[in-house]
Amino acid sequence: MTDASPALLLLLSLGLCCPGAQGQRITVTAKFYNSKTTHPQSGKSLELECVSSVDSGVSWIRQDKAGTLHFIVYISTLPKTTFKGNQMTSSRFEASKIGKSYRLKVMSFEAQDEGTYFCTVNYNQVLYFSSGLHAFFPVTTTAAPVTTVSPTTQGSQVTKRDVCLQSHEAETSKEKELNFFCEIFIWVPLAAACLLLLIALVITIVLNQATKRRR
């Protein structure tokens, strides 16, 4: 068997359309061996278990994110394991059989091992397969940092101070204008009165001198 073989797609298609063709109900279940396991952890081992109602050998297959099928191992009833490339052993996987339980162990789970795992049973020339077992790393979400703006920041204090200074300067200029107009209204009449008195004094002096000359 070869990795990502088109024959695997054909076998799965036959299993989809022909389960129980001879009337016998066969069950094949794939699950995590440890019931507490919900997802793999990077660099750690992951053990899967396939339980079949018939003892007829099991094949483990992985479907990657792109949908490509990858043959991993065939475990016979003896038991005897055959990995990809007709190898008896694998540096990445271990396979074993206890009773009707066929187990696959990923020695060190990495990103390349992510995918949906199936186990298949060929019984009486009919292919039965389990539901897909999803083995993906958990999706990590990074929360956006929350920034809070203090209502009494230095910038706001400076702004308020500037506003106060500007308003104070505006009030000061208005006061100066008012004082200027007040001074005009006060000093202009006084200057006019002084001018009239001066004119009257000059006229009086002139008249007195004219009178003395006539005498």
> Which domain CATH number covers 125?
2.60.40.10
> Which range (40-49, 62-71, 188-197, 202-211) has the least confidence?
188-197
Residue 173: pLDDT band (50, 70, 90) is low
Q: Tell which of 104, 135, 166 closes a domain.
A: 135
pLDDT (0 to 100) of residue 14: 47
Examine residue 40 and state whether it is found in any structural domain, yes or no. Answer: yes
Does 97 share its domain with 190? no
> Which range (67-71, 160-164, 188-192) has the least confidence?
160-164
Structure tokens at 54: 């018939």
Does 33 share its domain with 89? yes
Between β-strands 58-63 and 69-75, what pairing exists: parallel, antiparallel or unpaired?
Answer: antiparallel
The tens digit of pLDDT for each residue in 109-140 reads 999 999 999 999 999 989 999 999 999 999 88
pLDDT (0 to 100) of residue 171: 52
Does 71 share its domain with 120? yes
The tens digit of pLDDT for each residue in 94-108 reads 999 998 899 999 999
Number of helices (H), then strands (E), belonging to the chain: the values are 2, 10
Does 122 share its domain with 41? yes
Examine residue 126 and state whether it is found in any structural domain, yes or no. Answer: yes
Examine residue 156 and state whether it is found in any structural domain, yes or no. Answer: no
Examine residue 140 and state whether it is found in any structural domain, yes or no. Answer: no
pLDDT (0 to 100) of residue 163: 46
**Range(s) of the domain holding residue 206:** 175-214
Asked if pLDDT for residue 177 goes beyond 90, the answer is no
Does 125 share its domain with 40? yes
Examine residue 166 and state whether it is found in any structural domain, yes or no. Answer: no
Residue 17: pLDDT band (50, 70, 90) is very low
The label of the residue with tokens 């079949």 reads 52
Does 33 share its domain with 115? yes
Does 43 share its domain with 114? yes
- Residue 162 or 124, more confident: 124
Asked if pLDDT for residue 56 goes beyond 50, the answer is yes
* Sign of the Cα pseudo-torsion (73, 78, 80, 86, in order): negative
Q: Tell which of 103, 135, 167 closes a domain.
A: 135
Examine residue 160 and state whether it is found in any structural domain, yes or no. Answer: no
Residue 199: pLDDT band (50, 70, 90) is confident
Query: What average pLDDT does this structure show over 30-45?
Result: 96
CA distance 120 to 105: 16
Does 189 share its domain with 92? no
Residues 135, 115: contact at Cβ < 8 Å?
yes
> Which range (61-70, 123-132, 179-188, 201-210) has the least confidence?
179-188
Does 49 share its domain with 120? yes
Element (H, E) at 62: strand 58-63
Q: Tell which of 81, 114, 135 closes a domain.
A: 135
The label of the residue with tokens 């004082």 reads 179
Examine residue 107 and state whether it is found in any structural domain, yes or no. Answer: yes
Structure tokens at 61: 């297959």
Examine residue 36 and state whether it is found in any structural domain, yes or no. Answer: yes
Number of domains in the chain: 2
Residue 178: pLDDT band (50, 70, 90) is low
CA distance 75 to 120: 10
pLDDT (0 to 100) of residue 30: 97
pLDDT (0 to 100) of residue 37: 95
Residue 10: pLDDT band (50, 70, 90) is very low
